[in-house]
Amino acid sequence: MTGFGAVFRPQLAPERLRAVVRVADEVGLDELWLWEDCFREGGISTAAAALAWTERVRVGVGLLPVPLRNVALTAMEAATLHRMFPGRAVLGVGHGVQDWMGQVGARAESPVTLLREHLLALRSLLRGDRVTVKGRYVQLDGVALDWPPQQAVEVFAGATGPRSLRLAGEAADGTVLTANTAPDGVRRARRLIDEGRAAAGRDDDAHRVVVYLLAATGAGARERLRAELVAEGVADVPGLGVAGDAQAVADAVLRLAEAGADTVILQPTGDEPDPEGFVRFAAEQVRPLVVV
């Protein structure tokens, strides 16, 4: 396994971020991931702050919902982060939660088409290409970034269904899977991603798969985990989530890695009582058991 980290969940107020990211940097956590759930913190603004407050931790955003953004703006913001903090920003995009997109008048008739067009244009812009495209949703006329990244960067896609997973293989550099993905789901996702890569004739660098793992430790861990799985409607799905000590969590991480995850990101419960302590637990107790 090559990657490991934790999530700063947007159920926490934005002003809590600084303390959490500083702990992550201090204890040597590999990656700290942020979410852009409607209608909580903005993904780019929190990522920029987290990167500025730290020296070494990689900061991921999973995911930016593409219906809310013109692809040129996504590219501008992504390129800016990559130039200011080389090698430390990890950005993922997705088609968004459709109910939320409907609330803001941005719901697309074909979310997969929109995501495909956005991914292809975004990766071209970040390569420094001048892009002209007249798609169903994405339309650019000779657009090029003045300040593209100075090195090749990865663009991740969030995916769950078969069409989205094949699309991720076809048009993204990596895939982000939710915490509702058990080991068998990771294996299935890998197969579908590989199908997409083969259909697109992609034989470039390996496609990185990032998987969230819902985890709880300390007092009341099992009760908190169970409550969240029930709320998500997945309490009876085998292999989802883990509660217990560092060894129990590490074993769950390794099961996902054996199923095909390149990076596993621990996702605390939404009511985690000690976010800073959870990051310390992940870095100091779990990481040594899973990262060789």
pLDDT one-digit tens code per residue, 32-90: 999 999 999 999 999 999 999 999 999 999 999 999 999 999 999 999 999 999 999 99
Rounded mean pLDDT of 182-208? 94
Burial of 66 (0-12, 13-18, 19+ CB in 10 A): buried
Query: Residue 1's pLDDT is what?
Result: 64
288 contacts 236 by C-beta, under 8 angstroms = no
In the chain, pLDDT over 90 holds for what percent of residues?
A: 97
Q: Bridge-partner residues for 246, per DSSP?
A: none
Q: Bridge-partner residues for 265, per DSSP?
A: 5, 212
Strands (E), 123-202: 131-134, 139-143, 155-158, 174-177
Q: In 3D, which of 65, 62, 57, 50 has the Cα closest to residue 19?
A: 50
Rounded mean pLDDT of 162-168? 98
Measure the CA–CA gap between 161 and 146, rounded to whole angstroms.
Answer: 36
| pTM of this structure | 0.96
Measure the CA–CA gap between 166 and 175, rounded to whole angstroms.
Answer: 10
Confidence of residue 215 (pLDDT cuts 50, 70, 90): very high
**Alpha carbon distances (Å) from 253 to 5, 27, 28, 210, 213:** 11, 19, 18, 12, 7
Query: Residue 291's pLDDT is what?
Result: 85
Q: In 3D, which of 158, 202, 196, 139 has the Cα closest to residue 62?
A: 158
pLDDT one-digit tens code per residue, 228-265: 999 999 999 999 999 999 999 999 999 999 999 999 99
1 contacts 260 by C-beta, under 8 angstroms = no
Sequence-distant (≥ 6) Cβ neighbours of residue 55 within 8 angstroms: 25
Query: Residue 51's pLDDT is what?
Result: 98
Confidence of residue 138 (pLDDT cuts 50, 70, 90): very high
Element (H, E) at 120: helix 111-126
Measure the CA–CA gap between 265 and 217, rounded to whole angstroms.
Answer: 15
Rounded mean pLDDT of 132-155? 97
